[in-house]
Chains A and B, each alone.
Chain A
Amino acid sequence: MADENNSNGGSSGKNGRVGLVERVTTGVKEDIQALKTDIPTKAKEQIDGLKDPTKTQVYTSIFRHKHDDTPRNRALGVLSNVFLHLHPAKINRDAVRYSYTWGMGGITFYLFIILTYTGVLLMFYYHPSKVQAFRDVLYLEHDVPFGKILRNMHRWAAHLMVIGVWLHMFRVFLTGSYKKPREFNWNIGVLLLVFTLLLSFTGYLLPDDQLGFWAVTVGTNMARATPLLGHEGPFGSMLGMTPYNDVRFGLLGGSIVDANALLRSYIWHCIGIPIVASVLMIVHFWRVRKDGGISGPAPVMLEAEADKPRRGPKAAGE
């Protein structure tokens, strides 16, 4: 036993080493032999798998349902997508009519996305300080690649958004869509209208040119006259309001439109109001669904039915 042990691994190390080398070489040879058959089969499997990429694990992990043209898949395409699941799977056949909806709410939201995107890009080139701000805009207009169209898009999208919000409100009013059960959502909408105007207004000052400066001066001068809280407003001076502690001072961070006003404007424009508006938008969209989808086009109601219950089996035309 001891001899055997010795001959195998101990003093006769040379023999043992040869054995190891042999074993390794035969092993490697076996591996190569196996590879010659394994690789082609695996490769074939791989290529076969690529012929139908929708069956790969990566694909099925991203898209969690099939794409055959079945009603179920059409519904799942909307419901299992985080960006689309705001929609129901099905809607009233008339609710897609553009002449009724005008599409202004959606367009406004799309413009908000464009504005966020272009706005973030603009922020890379802009310092909200009196020394830099105007030069940054010049730099953006003349030196930054596509800087001019970036700024133009941001400005015009903002104007379009204001118009879009107005037209959206106009349509919602004309179709009586603020009526029961959508009263609260109308209120959220009014707040969003106000925030849209404020977003646009705070952005007006940022180029730090004559146009923005005087527009914001005119705009915030009104705050001087706020009753009770402005130093020129009714009862303001009685409450101890001066140009240095009234509501206008709070808005501008000073008694004139200057560096602090620029910074405040910037922060409200880029951070403060977008966050608040986004939260309100979430509520707004969510409430559209919870209040029963968009209001119509609903079946017309007659005078005689006015005071009957709107919902339930007795509802008109249902």
Chain B
Amino acid sequence: MDWRQLWEICSAPDNVPIVGLIPLLGFYIYLAVKQARANDQLIEQLEADPAMAKTHHRKTWPFKPGWAKEVHVWPFLLRIEFLAAIIVTIILMIWSITLNAPLEEPANPNLTMNPAKAPWYFLGLQEMLVYFDPWIAGVVMPTMIIIGLMVIPYIDTNPLGSGYYTWKQRKFSISTFMFGFVILWVAMIIIGTFIRGPGWQWFWPGQTWDHNRLIYEVNRDLPDLFGLTSNMAKAVFGGIVVVGFYLVGGGAVYSLFRRKMQKDFQRMSLLQFSLMAFLWLTMIALPLKMALRLLWHIKYVWITPWFNV
């Protein structure tokens, strides 16, 4: 266990935000889960007791019939904003006094940094480069993330859970988002920051960064496993696999929705459903490709003269 190495990584000024992000994210997830659980309990109660549902104020916060429904922004909201501003300022001042922003040697194109890392918030994308070619990891995936985020309101047709924390009413959307944000985005950033060392190789926390370490890894392509040799055969085979993934996956999503989320399925138009299924499968393709690489050393699935997937 190389504590010094671990400390060097954790205390690198630009890594501090991520070290801070982990407990912060944990705290806010706890806050959300706590409120979701309370709301879910209330929903269960109200659903069991229709008479209560008619009269109940439907919030988990205390409420008395005589209370005013609204409060003045001044002072009840503005004092919170002023306090928040003061607290953020204090935190920022202390942070800025105690920790210096990084400044390394002058830029030198002849001296490659190893590892050369993107800013920490893009390390998830850089980590993806291990599993996908740059045109997917660096261009297509980010575009899909942005588009995927933007279409969320238009493909999530579930009217429940608007304006309150809940889990039971939005299991699918919340688990999808949690998976995408916490696992695929934040966890990948953590891997990119704390695990990846020289040569972008995997170093466990506390393992010394060995700049001369070589790993002999023989990666294969999926068509090789099936004994395909001609370019034509590889291209056609890969195309079938990828298209097949979306078709079979789409069928699986359909089957899931038809059985478990019939109401949501009924509300969705064909376009909404197919867009949702496509984006969802694209998201799932990332961990699948990771598994293919890590478990079976498979590099490409689809090989063509122009691009590889």
Report chain A residues within 8 Å CB of B28.
Answer: 102, 167, 170-171
> C-beta contact mask, A153-165 vs B, less than 8 Å → 1, else 0?
1111101101100
Report chain A residues within 8 Å CB of B158.
Answer: 179, 306
Contact, CB under 8 Å: A87 / B88: no
Given contacts A174-B165, A211-B102, A235-B306, contact A78 B78 (CB under 8 A): yes
State whether the Cβ of A314 lies closer than 8 Å to any Cβ in chain B: no
- Tell me the nearest residue of chain B to A152, going by C-beta: B96
Report chain A residues within 8 Å CB of B69.
Answer: 92-93
- How many A residues have CB within 8 A of the partner chain? 110
> C-beta contact mask, B123-145 vs A, less than 8 Å → 1, else 0?
00110000001110111100000
Contact, CB under 8 Å: A197 / B122: yes
> C-beta contact mask, A68-97 vs B, less than 8 Å → 1, else 0?
000100110110000010011111111111
Tell me, rounded to whole Å, the shortest Cβ–Cβ distance linking A107 to chain B: 6
- How many B residues have CB within 8 A of the partner chain? 101
Tell me, rounded to whole Å, the shortest Cβ–Cβ distance linking A292 to chain B: 10
> C-beta contact mask, B238-251 vs A, less than 8 Å → 1, else 0?
00000000000000
Given contacts A137-B103, A215-B116, contact A194 B71 (CB under 8 A): no
Cα distance A102–B30 in the bound complex, in angstroms: 12
Contact, CB under 8 Å: B70 / A92: yes
Tell me, rounded to whole Å, the shortest Cβ–Cβ distance linking B152 to chain A: 6
Partner of B146, one of A148, A160, A190, A209: A190
Contact, CB under 8 Å: B95 / A156: yes
Given contacts A96-B80, A178-B152, A204-B119, contact A71 B72 (CB under 8 A): yes
Tell me, rounded to whole Å, the shortest Cβ–Cβ distance linking A70 to chain B: 11
Cα distance A235–B139 in the bound complex, in angstroms: 14
> C-beta contact mask, A198-241 vs B, less than 8 Å → 1, else 0?
00110010011111111101110111111100101111001000
Given contacts A197-B122, A235-B306, contact A300 B46 (CB under 8 A): yes
Cα distance A169–B35 in the bound complex, in angstroms: 17
Contact, CB under 8 Å: A212 / B162: no
Report chain B residues within 8 Å CB of A175.
Answer: 161-165
Given contacts A90-B73, A91-B70, A214-B116, contact A295 B163 (CB under 8 A): yes
Contact, CB under 8 Å: A209 / B68: no
Binds A, one of B50-58, B271-279, B284-292: B50-58
Report chain A residues within 8 Å CB of B216.
Answer: none
Cα distance A298–B122 in the bound complex, in angstroms: 35
Report chain B residues within 8 Å CB of A166.
Answer: 181
Contact, CB under 8 Å: A106 / B104: no
Contact, CB under 8 Å: A97 / B106: no
| Interface contact tally, CB-CB below 8 A | 298
Contact, CB under 8 Å: B108 / A210: yes
Report chain A residues within 8 Å CB of B74.
Answer: 74-75, 77-78, 84
Cα distance A235–B307 in the bound complex, in angstroms: 8
Contact, CB under 8 Å: A180 / B88: no
Which B108-122 residues have a C-beta within 8 angstroms of A?
Answer: 108-109, 111-113, 116-122
State whether the Cβ of A317 lies closer than 8 Å to any Cβ in chain B: yes
Q: A residues near B, CB below 8 A? A: 71, 74-75, 77-78, 84, 87-100, 102-103, 106-107, 110-111, 114, 134, 137-138, 141, 148-149, 151-157, 159-160, 162-163, 166-167, 169-171, 173-180, 182-183, 186-187, 190, 193-194, 197, 200-201, 204, 207-215, 217-219, 221-227, 230, 232-235, 238, 256-257, 295-304, 306-307, 310, 316-317
**Given A170-B28, A186-B152, A197-B121: 12 more A-B contacts, CB < 8 Å:** A78-B78, A103-B84, A138-B103, A149-B93, A178-B152, A186-B153, A210-B108, A213-B109, A218-B117, A234-B307, A257-B109, A296-B163
Q: B residues near A, CB below 8 A? A: 14, 16-17, 20-21, 24-25, 28, 31-32, 35-36, 39, 42-43, 46-47, 53, 56-59, 61, 67-78, 80-81, 84-85, 88-89, 92-93, 95-97, 99-109, 111-113, 116-122, 125-126, 133-135, 137-140, 146, 149-150, 152-154, 156, 158-166, 169-170, 174, 177, 181, 263, 267, 306-307
- List, sorted by A's number, 28 A–B pairs whose CB atoms are closer than 8 Å: A77-B74, A88-B73, A91-B77, A96-B80, A99-B31, A99-B35, A149-B93, A149-B97, A156-B99, A159-B14, A170-B25, A170-B28, A175-B163, A175-B165, A179-B162, A180-B159, A186-B152, A187-B150, A200-B121, A214-B112, A214-B117, A234-B307, A235-B307, A300-B58, A302-B43, A310-B162, A317-B56, A317-B58
